Amino acid sequence: MVLEHRNLLLRSAEPDVLARFSARLHPVELSKGVTLHNPGDTVDLVYFPESALVAGFSETAAGESVATSLIGVEGALGVFEACGSRTAHMRCLVQVTGRAWRMRAGAYRELYDASALLRTAVHKHIEFLLAESRQSVACNAIHPVEGRLSRYILEGLERSRASTTLPLTQEALAHALGVQRTTVAVCVSALQKQGVLRSSRGAIEVTDRSGLEKVSCLCRQALVDARRDIYRTHSESCDA
């Protein structure tokens, strides 16, 4: 039996190949605030989000952190590490509660070896994550918080496939951006006055998406361009 999947990486695999692994894919509910990986952890599980949203945090030795990647329905957590060092090098935290598929790392490696289409999709996903992380370095160092906040909200909506509301608190957004909660509160208040979003207890509702796009920093368009360039290619992946 071929299971119905929303996750785009799973959907990329050949149906007959994926069907052979259906019993090794398990549906799970990922709860907001749960840490899936810490730096140094052995990567034993691979997660394919469907409605959940996971953020990858880069941390300093002093414990400071900032989100450098978001993983939602378009990608997966652990696909790179499971085929490499088997070791996590960032903290991965569930930002939005939702569904996902979970697979043992060993089973994932078998699926990866069996599916040429999945390998190509995973390579594109990893290439985009690298582009996103590099862009985040420049963004966090150069751009004002209001623009970074707007970009993060827009990316979160897209990757969780939410329509207009992102169930994130201002505290969670501050943690992701590596700033004080009061700084986020000031930015949210300014964006509300501009009429592009509305903040309620535990959620941000985007009321004018095009307006929020205009407020977002230029890294937003850089990521849109990178995504387009990476995913429109039709070449097969390079296999080791």
DSSP 73: T
Per CATH, the architecture of 144-217 is what? Answer: Orthogonal Bundle (1.10)
Instruction: Kindly state the tokens that stand for 101.
Output: 């598929």
pTM for the whole thing? 0.89
Cβ distance 60 to 29 under 8 Å?
no
| Spans of all domains in the chain | 8-139, 144-217
Cβ distance 92 to 37 under 8 Å?
yes
Cβ distance 79 to 48 under 8 Å?
no
The pLDDT averaged over each successive group of 10 residues in the chain (240 residues) is 74 94 95 93 95 90 85 93 89 94 96 95 92 88 93 91 89 92 95 93 92 92 91 66
Burial class (CB in 10 A: 0-12, 13-18, 19+), 8: middle
For tokens 């992380």, what's the residue? Answer: 133
pLDDT of residue 201: 84
Cβ distance 35 to 92 under 8 Å?
yes
Domains 8-139 and 144-217 equal at CATH topology level:
no
pLDDT of residue 229: 92
> For residues 167 and 114, what is the distance between their CA atoms, to the nearest angstrom?
37
pLDDT of residue 170: 92
Per CATH, the architecture of 8-139 is what? Answer: Sandwich (2.60)
